[in-house]
Structure 1
Amino acid sequence: MTQDFIALTPKAPDAAALLAALHAGGPDLTLTTTDDDAVVHLCTADGRPLVSVEAPLLIHTAGEAERLLGPDLSPAGTSYWWTEIRASTAAPGAEALAASVGGRLTTLLGGTLWPRREPGSTAVVDAAQDHHAVAASPGDLPVVDVLTDSTAVVLADRPVLGLTTWLADILRITTAADRALHLVTPPHVRLTLPLRAALGGAPNRWVVQDPAGGYYDGLSGAVLVWRNGTFAPIGDGRVADAFTATAAPTGEHQLTVAFRTLHAPDADLLLGASLQTAWRHLTGTDPVGWGTAEPVNLPWSPRQLTTLARDRAPAPTHTLAIGTPARPAIATHRTTRTAAGVAEDVTLAIGYAAGEQAPLEAIEPLAAELVDAHGLTTMLTTLRAARADLTLPARLGPPPVPVAFTLGPRDVREAGLAHARRPPLAIRPAQLGTPDAPSLHYPLGDGTDTAAWTTLSRLAAHLGSRVGGV
């Protein structure tokens, strides 16, 4: 598995500290850089990579280390530096070398090395004579564990695997090169929702090592084999027993609100305001942090988010937002220029422990404000039995159940108000917005009856006959 170490330090790893740490392997190793010098690689004399050290990241968001690395890890202070150190899985001596690099950083700067190491882990390691390391990936692709014509394979073993900058870069580059990304993990690893969303579907995969032997897809359960340079379903439709094993109900659940807003490309447009509105309605607070990858490191700022999107335009901008540890919440936010204006696509998920109730009564008032102030086009709310910490295990879980659907003024106008208000169902929508630009909010249930999917499907067919799909 990936031999990752993370140094969490109260002081910034400056050039002197990084150089001292990188000398853990002795004088015979060489240094190279990639990603505009954002990643430093320790290599053997013939250029084979042993350890990669990413640019340190200043974390301003409370709870990120605990969320991604485990509850027993609590960095001191409200801000700290996060430095990722990754060993080559092809070099047996690289893991000890990476631990030494991280250990030296925390010895010089204070703080904690994850995973925790036994005393003496900072000793100098001579890895220069280990010639089993694979060559760096060609071109601009970050170093991966296996690279074939069709697939980049990354081995990972963390309690929670998030959408790190490294994985985001690999996804971007493999997609552009028409390659798949396959993440291979042990069965105890869980994914964050942003990484799950970024992986999408085939050809990318989450490949889980089956405790009984072999591999299976962590999202579908399909039994997989390594064939022709990629992981592929075995072909007989089998699903791994480990994926379908029944887990005891916990009473935890997740509320998910997915919506799109559309704005005129105005100079005063502030992106992220609709997301902030949803956060306030459903949690009573604003997001605490945002960023482009995990860990989420920046204090929440719609103005900074807007600046980033303008700098990247006309290309889309993908960002994340995170809530307080007391109320687990995370969102993906995508800004896109369209022919109709500037679109924001938001998916906000909020976790609830056993005994807590999701605020379903807040959904209709939220829809009303999004219609009145933020240009809502559509919104779908669902509830599902799932982990309150918003992570995804490699196991079959109950599907989300629709709670409500909102259709914005533009699509109501296209469908015709009279038609949209009278679906062939035992539900009657609430009219939102103004008489001149009405919107319709359709209640679908309380999130406990999967028959709500049939209701939503019939509603979509009724509306889609006029608006070209919902």
Structure 2
Amino acid sequence: MTTGEARPHPLVDGIDGDEIVSRSDREVVALTPLRADLLVAAHAARRRVRLVTPATSRLTDPLRDALVSAGGSWVVEDGAGAAWDGLLGLATDGTGVAPSFLRPVEAEALQLVVTASLRHRAEAATRIGAALELVAGLGRGGPTGWGPHEPVEFPWDPAAVTRHLAARAPEESRVVVAGSSMIGSTLVQRTDKGVEEVLQALVALGPVGASSTDAALEQVPARLRMLAEDALPLFASVFARPGRADLTTAPHLQAPPVPVAVLIGAPGVRDLALDVPQLVDRFGALVVGRPRIPGVVVPFGGADGGWAALERFIDVVGRERVRAVLRGMPAPGRTEV
């Protein structure tokens, strides 16, 4: 693949059908400006990126998210002839799950996997970033820097983030946010209802089983309730899993996440016709937002039966209604990096 001036992209190592092959032997592969440019150029050329690395490499979460969102893949080679999908574990020779993938990732820390969607008013006073500060505060500190790529180049400043994103409106735009114990991204787009912010973050709470980690985990429902203070929350979910303390993704089996809590904003409560007092009584739900048009935060208890509690909640609400509402949640195209 070449640029408009017929120069080959420096990260292209070959073309295989509709895939652009890009190799890296770095220990940590990040969403650098060049790699982000490759994803954008591949999308414009209607091609997908196949990132090829040795088994010793790991991906940062912004790169993993951008690669998956752009329809790309991560192929891992062990140097002995075996190769597999670094995220799914499937061997490239079609023989099923690669044995090397099944080596579990060392559980150094309890990670929170956070996704949230919020709606802001399209006005000068709107500030982007408060939601990520709330989420990151569950770890050892809040965001320390931001930028369009990795490594982040600017000190954390929600006003600067807001100005950067507003300058690119009405096109959707995303920035990477990093801290001492978190990594994530915020994507913003204009709609006919205002400004919608979608954030994704990984937060390292601390060592698995530590009392301080358990105490931070218990604060998740209260933090989700605080999201309603400066914006209209649409939906948020928090899952917990053991993983690496540096929050990178290794090409090995990741422990499955366990649901901790979900937030369903006022639009979802209305569309699902939820009985808020019933949810408070049966699940200990927290009421958020305005009393007349409330949202709810439903805690599931994390490791102590999180999946069982989530199943009970879905049974009460109705599976088809939950699917219908989730299908209608904002899902901006994730090709802008």
The reply to whether TM is greater than 0.5 is yes
1: distance between equivalents of 2:232 and 2:94?
Answer: 46
Structure 2 residue 122 is the aligned partner of structure 1 residue 265: yes
2:223 and 2:324 map into 1 onto residues whose CA distance is 26
Residues 1:337 and 1:447: Cα distance change in structure 2 (over 3 Å): farther
What is aligned with 2:174? Answer: 318
Alignment of 1:85-96 (within 5 A): none
Report SS of the residue matched to 2:221.
helix
- CA gap of 1:468–1:354, structure 2 versus 1, over 3 A, is closer
C-alpha separation in 2, matches of 1:427 and 1:190: 39
In structure 1, the gaps of 5 or more residues are: 1-33, 37-134, 225-233
Deviations along 1:235-268, one digit per CA (max 9) or x if unpaired, are: 45x1111001346x54522012211110121122
For residues 364-398 of structure 1, give each alpha carbon's deviation from its aligned partner in whole angstroms, at most 9, with x where no partner exists: 22122211322211110110011111011100111
Equivalent residues of 1:271, 1:305 under 8 A apart: yes
The residue identity in structure 1 corresponding to 2:195 is: V
Whole-Å separation in 1 of the counterparts to 2:176 and 2:35: 15
Which amino acid in structure 2 is aligned with residue 204 of structure 1?
G
Aligned to 1:335: 188
Structure 2 counterparts to residues 36-435 of structure 1, below 5 A: 136-137=7-8, 141-200=9-68, 203-224=71-92, 234-236=93-95, 238-246=96-104, 250-280=107-137, 282-283=138-139, 285-324=141-180, 328-351=181-204, 352-356=206-210, 357-358=213-214, 359-418=216-275, 421-422=277-278, 427-435=283-291
Q: Distance in 1 between matches of 2:117 and 2:71?
A: 26
* Matched residue SS, 2:52: strand
1:250-289 deviation per Cα after TM superposition (whole angstroms, max 9, x unaligned): 4522012211110121122112122223333x14743110
Letter in 2 for 1:160: V
Rounded to whole Å, the distance in 2 between the matches of 1:374 and 1:185 is: 41
**Correspondence for 1:74:** none
CA offsets per residue over residues 176-218 of structure 1, 9 Å max, x none? Answer: 2111101111101011111111111684111100344132110
Structure 1 or 2, whichever has the larger Rg, is: 1
| Partner Cα separation in structure 2 for residue 198 and residue 417 of structure 1 | 34
Question: 1:433-455: per-residue Cα shift (whole Å, max 9, x none)?
Answer: 33212111111122354634644
Task: Give 5+ residue unaligned stretches, structure 2.
Answer: 330-337
Question: Conserved in 2, the CA contact under 8 Å of 1:274 and 1:374?
Answer: no
Kept in 1: contact 2:108–2:245 (CA 8 A): no
Distance in 2 between residues matched to 1:304 and 1:460, nearest whole Å:
42
Equivalent position of 2:319 in the other structure: 461
1:193 aligned partner, one-letter code: D
TM-score normalised to structure 2 length:
0.85
Distance 1:284 1:245, change over 3 A: closer
**What code does the residue aligned with 1:152 have?**
I
Q: Deviations over 1:147-199 (max 9, x none)?
A: 34511111101111111111111011101211110111110101111111111
- 1:288 is paired with a residue whose SS is strand
Inter-partner Cα distance in structure 2 for 1:277 and 1:35: 43
Task: Check whether the contact 1:260–1:378 (CA below 8 A) recurs between aligned residues.
Answer: yes
SS at match of 1:368: helix
Given the alignment, which residue of 300, 313, 327 partners 1:444?
A: 300
1:299-325 Cα offsets, whole Å, 9 max, x none, are 01111111111211111111011113x
RMSD over aligned Cα, in angstroms? 2.7
Aligned-partner residue type, residue 397 of structure 1:
Q
Contact 1:151 1:179 in 2 (8 A): yes
Runs of 4+ in 1 over 6 A off after TM superposition: none
Alignment correspondent of 1:90: none
CA distance in 1, matches of 2:11, 2:102: 34
Q: Secondary structure at the match of 1:451?
A: helix
Q: CA deviation at 1:136?
A: 4.2
User: TM-score, normalising length from structure 1?
Assistant: 0.62
Residue 6 of structure 1 aligns with which residue?
none
